[in-house]
Amino acid sequence: MDYSQFLYMHDEISLIAVIVILFLADLFLCGDRKSGTVSKALSLLPVGLLALQTAYIASALLCPCGDGMSEAFGGMYQNTPVMTLVKVVLNVGTIIVFLMADSWMKRPENQIKVGEFYMLTLSTLLGMYYMISSGHFLMFFIGLELASIPMTALIAYTKNNQESAEAAAKYILTALFSSGLLLYGISLVYGTCGTMYFDELAAKFSPADTLQLAALVLFISGIGFKISLVPFHLWTADTYQGAPTTVTGYLSVISKGAAAFVLFTILVKVFQPMVEQWNTIMLWIIIFSITVANLFAVRQNNIKRFMAFSAISQAGYLVLGVMGGTAQGMTSLVYYLFVYMVANLGVFLIINVTEQNSGKINISDYNGFYQSNPKLSFIMTLCLFSLAGIPPFAGFFSKFFIFMAAFNAGFPVLVFIALVNTVISLYYYLLIVKAMYIVKNDAPIAPFRSDCYTKTAIAVCALGVVLGGIVSCIYGYIDTLSYGL
């Protein structure tokens, strides 16, 4: 066996390196947990390392060797530029989450377990890497599980918090259930085709085979659980609400995004012969995800739970790009993922910093927020408008493009339903804006100063929200890559 093949997975290996370094640092640097200096080092280290690693991956994109495609272990591991790009996007998101987490990590009760947070997060990220560039169902399954198992620990991170534990329990139980079904589906695939290599499967599938159709549905359900699509979404709200805000942010963007991308690639690459079937399935799933989530979001008061439902409906919009499985859809999906990540993390940053400083997480607490903290509420408004798809913010562009893709793929009715739903979503986003600007409140959240990490992260997000759309080269660049299916 040729071990040089490992070099093809430089993304993963570099990430593993980061994890290892962090592990060692956590072991040796932090002999004494009580001193703040160490934890400062430990909070800077992951960000720095991850930034380095991101730069390393991105460099491969900027100066592509050959066509940028690479394959290892007989096609078990595949990598294309667009996959690398997605990994970069996920990295950026993770960096923002780390920046967000800092103030939370500095809390005394977390001093003891700072390192774990970073390592667990990074290992889920690693799982997503493998999931993304898997060329074989085994690789895919391992990646999926690697992405979800440490997540449980993260959700349950605040040990003595009942809600956190309950959230984790619901998450892991549903995850087990879905992975059971997924595994069964994969077994059916194996049973009917005799192989689990993506490249070979497409040839062996036929829409006539009942077992294979069942496998398709089971696969979609397993990954739909990660993306939290209706009807596999029910864990989402509870988990998001119970989990620590930082983790919620991570959940709502990174794992969701990776899974959506994988859904696209596998449906297009593997289940190509059954395109009509999975179009039908996705059609209904999307309609229900958007509508039901919007209906639930309308009357939430806890802002994290609210964001959970918003995230579900956003996921619905996200997978609009899957319809038809066109290159345009792929581009707009990745673009949407990027924009959505920026905006959503922006909102979570502000939720988090507010929670850290005032401990308030109800929408009604935000009444009169503009009077006390104008800057924060302004950024929040930008991000919410972006989520709602209001120009000139990036969200408008991403929504427009993904609708365009779906329309072009031949689903005008679906697009129309989604468009009508944007009105509802605008309604509930405006509810928060209303709370911040319009509703009078004699005791609003007291003014506070956010730490420099959060400030940096917020700046990044705001920049992304404002420029992400107008600067058209982003979309253009993704488009140049998205041939790599």
Nearby residues of 74 by Cβ (< 8 Å), 6 or more positions away: 197
CA distances from 467 to 1, 328, 341, 412, 478 (A): 48, 21, 14, 29, 16
When asked if residue 181 is in the footprint of other proteins (CB under 8 A), the reply is yes
What SS3 state is found at 359? coil
**Complex with other proteins: residue 412 or 447, whichever CB lies closer:** 412
When asked if residue 296 is in the footprint of other proteins (CB under 8 A), the reply is yes
What SS3 state is found at 78? strand
Q: Going residue by residue from 248 to 287, which x/- string records binding to other proteins, judged by CB under 8 A?
A: -----------------------------x--xx--xx--
CA distances from 237 to 134, 203, 303, 465 (A): 29, 39, 11, 25
Neighbours of 51 (CB within 10 A): 14
Q: Residue by residue, what is the 3-state secondary structure of 392-445?
A: CCHHHHHHHHHHHHHHHCCCHHHHHHHHHHHHHHHHHHHHHHHHHHCCCCCCCC
Of 139, 430, 111, nearest to 298 by C-alpha is 430
When asked if residue 183 is in the footprint of other proteins (CB under 8 A), the reply is yes
**Complex with other proteins: residue 218 or 349, whichever CB lies closer:** 218
Hey, which residues between 187 and 216 contact other proteins (CB under 8 A)? 187-188, 190-191, 194-196, 210, 213-214, 216
Contact 367, 426 (CB under 8 A): no
Among 237, 333, 351, 461, binds other proteins (CB under 8 A): 237
**Beta bridge partner(s), residue 302:** 362
For tokens 């990295």, the residue is 91
- Compute the least distance from the CB of residue 44 to other proteins, in Å: 29
**Complex with other proteins: residue 116 or 451, whichever CB lies closer:** 116
Hey, which residues between 133 and 152 contact other proteins (CB under 8 A)? 137-138, 141-142, 145, 149, 152
Q: Going residue by residue from 217 to 236, which x/- string records binding to other proteins, judged by CB under 8 A?
A: xx-xx---x----xxx-xx-
Q: Going residue by residue from 374 to 413, which x/- string records binding to other proteins, judged by CB under 8 A?
A: -----------x----xxx---x---xx-xx--xx---x-
User: Nearest 5°: phi and psi at 185?
Assistant: -60, -45
When asked if residue 437 is in the footprint of other proteins (CB under 8 A), the reply is yes
**C-alpha to C-alpha distance for 135 and 201, rounded to whole angstroms:** 11
**Complex with other proteins: residue 120 or 268, whichever CB lies closer:** 120
When asked if residue 466 is in the footprint of other proteins (CB under 8 A), the reply is no
> Which amino acid is located at 474 in the chain?
I
User: Nearest 5°: phi and psi at 120?
Assistant: -60, -45
Contact 334, 85 (CB under 8 A): yes
Among 13, 116, 177, 275, binds other proteins (CB under 8 A): 177
- Compute the least distance from the CB of residue 234 to other proteins, in Å: 4
When asked if residue 112 is in the footprint of other proteins (CB under 8 A), the reply is no
When asked if residue 423 is in the footprint of other proteins (CB under 8 A), the reply is yes
**Complex with other proteins: residue 8 or 401, whichever CB lies closer:** 401
- Is residue 79 within a helix (H) or strand (E), and if so which, with residue range? strand 77-79
- Compute the least distance from the CB of residue 393 to other proteins, in Å: 10
Q: Going residue by residue from 354 to 373, which x/- string records binding to other proteins, judged by CB under 8 A?
A: --------------------
When asked if residue 330 is in the footprint of other proteins (CB under 8 A), the reply is no
**Complex with other proteins: residue 178 or 372, whichever CB lies closer:** 178
Hey, which residues between 2 and 61 contact other proteins (CB under 8 A)? none
Of 272, 263, 331, 395, nearest to 82 by C-alpha is 331
**Complex with other proteins: residue 397 or 453, whichever CB lies closer:** 397
- Compute the least distance from the CB of residue 154 to other proteins, in Å: 11
- Compute the least distance from the CB of residue 156 to other proteins, in Å: 5
**Complex with other proteins: residue 95 or 390, whichever CB lies closer:** 390
